[in-house]
Structure 1
Amino acid sequence: MDIRHLRYFIAVAEEGHFTRAAERLHMAQPPLSQAIRQLESELGVQLLQRSTRHVSLTAAGHAYLERARGILEELSNASEHARRVAAGSVGHLVIGCVGSVTYSLLPQLSRGLATELPGVDFAFRGEMLVPDQVEALRNGQIDVALLRPPIADLGLTVEPVRQDRLVVALPEGHPLASTERVRMKQLAGSDLIVHSANRRSMMYDVTLGLLRGAGIEPHIRHEVGETSTLVTLVAGGLGVAIVPEPVGALRLDGVVYRPLVQPATTVPLAVAHRSDRHEPHLARAVGVIHRLT
């Protein structure tokens, strides 16, 4: 069956006249009449009652008209959906974020993505450590990750988006809380709160590397899995922590943040996804993330 036959039949049924239907379709009347006869022959039923002045629908014609309209509407919807998929305007994505992004960037990011890609359904997972993000990307639990390199997995595409400087989170009553900035050597002897080594946190290695580079033997009091827990323990006076500056967006009574100098160090933030993922909506979302960060 040619889909044009459905359009021809609908035009004749709605106009009630072959000549007017032909004019509406911008075609000659004889080919239109022939196409309708072919349609009836293929179906094995009479769809139209014909007279010299008027055309009316049979009972079968009424039933077929309803279904034909539905078919054309679904075809139109399918075509529009395919165009939107090709343009990256529809889809579903889960974005996983490290802790510092969860508090500083996620609110802006969720609003921006919803505004620029309203047809894409976004879900977010916050407070993820980098190893958990990498595993979630591999197994498809998340589609995009905002994480901190280095990443050794060659199956992932990792694109840097910015550098974040490091700061020291201090209890409000700590002697260094009254200073404008903190030198690494001033942290000698301080109790440290760090992200978990067992969960292979990137910040664990960064923190210990900085301290040992300054000749300080780290004194770790607590290891935690979530950034919010880390800051809460600092606010409780249980130690100090070295964190990326965006963590400062997590405001808690009892904790202050001071720039870390000597060395003045930054850590990278990157957006990552599986290298075998090429969906248009994923590429557009990554582009939006670059612009918003």
Structure 2
Amino acid sequence: MYDWAEYRHFRYLLEILDLKGFRAAAEQLHTTQPNLSAHARQFRENSGLHLYRRSKSGRISLTPTGVAFKLIARGLLSARDEAMAALLAVEQGEVRTLRLGCSSQADPILFNAFFAMHRELLPDCPIRPVHADTAQLVEEIASGDLDAAIVTLPVADLSLRVDEIRRDRLVVCLRADHSLASKAALQPADLQQHPTVLYHPQRNAQAHSRLLELLEEVGVKIEEYSRASHPTEMQGLVKQGFGFALIREGTVLDAELTTRPVAGVDWTVDTAFIYKKQGHPKTVPMLIRLLKGRLSPQTPKGKKPPLSAGKGPEQMSLLG
């Protein structure tokens, strides 16, 4: 249906829109203005899309469609580059094993899905799994002991690429026989009235601090709490009556437990792949892109914000 649309159309038009002119784009691309004009005209005639308006001076201004085109075209060209880099790495035998970490707070379904995708792409390349805290996984990737990891955000190491894969709502975990379990949703004040179970701060210190801030914003001040180091331990403490816990929606629960949302808030926990910006296995970005496509029908559980600007790590925020 769109066989006429070639990569050169997207590359040329992206440069034209970025530089807002044909002359500057031609110089940057080392081609001629007539060549760019011909490709731009061909794209417009075949697609019916108007990406820009051109003034008498030759300068152009973007239409709403042009603004959308820039983001989409960058993603398309990036996917092409990632695909070629991955194929070259496979051809040259660069990927012999993959050392993949996974945080205990991350959904194991993501690890299993990535493992299956990797085995499909590289059946002869083994994965060496490592399970640890987010902080430890970050250190091991930065030092080169790991190739990639699935962690919960935030991650502050500027040497790492942070690629969000999923966002899940935080819900309250409580005993199924608790009096508040009869409510469809809990109020923030309900959390203040009962002892609380939290993950140990060392699991992800930044996430822990942010969670306490969010609780304080709705009037819940946590001074003392029970600490767990693993989702199983957290459920065990709740089951034994040590309080409520905030957990990822969709977590497999003990038969004696249940979950309820918190009314009036939109708290989420974000899960991402992390790997070094420089020196990572070239198959990793392509695998993540393929995995996103495979998981996309079931991933949008929370609202996705735009990528944060500035010089910070390339990532989404931890909690909405």
Q: Same fold (TM over 0.5)?
A: yes
Q: What's the counterpart of residue 144 of structure 1?
A: 148
Q: What's the counterpart of residue 18 of structure 1?
A: none
Shift of 1:100: 3.7
2:147, 2:280 within 8 Å by CA — same for their partners in 1? no
Uncovered stretches (5+) of structure 2, i.e. residues with no partner: 1-86, 296-320
TM-score by length of 1: 0.63
Please state whether the residue corresponding to 1:194 is helix, strand or coil.
Answer: strand
Quote the Cα distance in structure 1 between the aligned partners of 2:231 and 2:158.
27
Q: What's the counterpart of residue 186 of structure 1?
A: 190
Q: What's the counterpart of residue 283 of structure 1?
A: 285
**Distance 1:238-1:183 versus aligned 2 partners, 3 A rule:** same
CA RMSD, Structure 1 to Structure 2 (Å): 2.6
Uncovered stretches (5+) of structure 1, i.e. residues with no partner: 1-81
Residue identity in the other structure for 1:103: P
Please state whether the residue corresponding to 1:287 is helix, strand or coil.
Answer: helix
Quote the Cα distance in structure 2 between the aligned partners of 1:134 and 1:84.
24
Q: What's the counterpart of residue 260 of structure 2?
A: 258
Q: What's the counterpart of residue 39 of structure 1?
A: none
Q: 2:139 aligns with which of 135, 139, 142?
A: 135
Q: 2:227 aligns with which of 213, 223, 242?
A: 223
Quote the Cα distance in structure 2 between the aligned partners of 1:114 and 1:260.
39
**2:128 corresponds to 1:107:** no
Output aligned runs, 1:84-103, within 5 Å: 85-86=90-91, 90-103=95-108
Quote the Cα distance in structure 2 between the aligned partners of 1:210 and 1:165.
14
Shift of 1:136: 1.7
Deviation per CA, 1:190-241, whole angstroms, max 9, x where unpaired?
1111111244444422331222111122153311222221122112222111
TM-score by length of 2: 0.58
Shift of 1:261: 2.7
* Moved >6 Å (runs of 4+): none
1:90, 1:121 within 8 Å by CA — same for their partners in 2? no
Q: What's the counterpart of residue 161 of structure 2?
A: 157
Quote the Cα distance in structure 2 between the aligned partners of 1:168 and 1:101.
17
**Distance 1:89-1:285 versus aligned 2 partners, 3 A rule:** farther
**Distance 1:275-1:141 versus aligned 2 partners, 3 A rule:** same
Give percent identity, aligned residues only: 23
2:150, 2:272 within 8 Å by CA — same for their partners in 1? yes
Which structure has the greater CA radius of gyration?
1
1:89, 1:120 within 8 Å by CA — same for their partners in 2? no
Shift of 1:166: 0.9
Residue identity in the other structure for 2:123: P
Quote the Cα distance in structure 1 between the aligned partners of 2:223 and 2:176.
20
Deviation per CA, 1:3-55, whole angstroms, max 9, x where unpaired?
xxxxxxxxxxxxxxxxxxxxxxxxxxxxxxxxxxxxxxxxxxxxxxxxxxxxx
Shift of 1:93: 1.1
Quote the Cα distance in structure 2 between the aligned partners of 1:88 and 1:215.
56
1:203, 1:243 within 8 Å by CA — same for their partners in 2? no
Shift of 1:90: 4.4
Alignment size in residue pairs: 209
Q: What's the counterpart of residue 204 of structure 1?
A: 208
Quote the Cα distance in structure 2 between the aligned partners of 1:213 and 1:268.
20
Please state whether the residue corresponding to 2:154 is helix, strand or coil.
Answer: coil
Please state whether the residue corresponding to 1:115 is helix, strand or coil.
Answer: helix
Shift of 1:145: 1.4
1:93, 1:120 within 8 Å by CA — same for their partners in 2? yes
Quote the Cα distance in structure 2 between the aligned partners of 1:88 and 1:236.
52
**2:168 corresponds to 1:169:** no
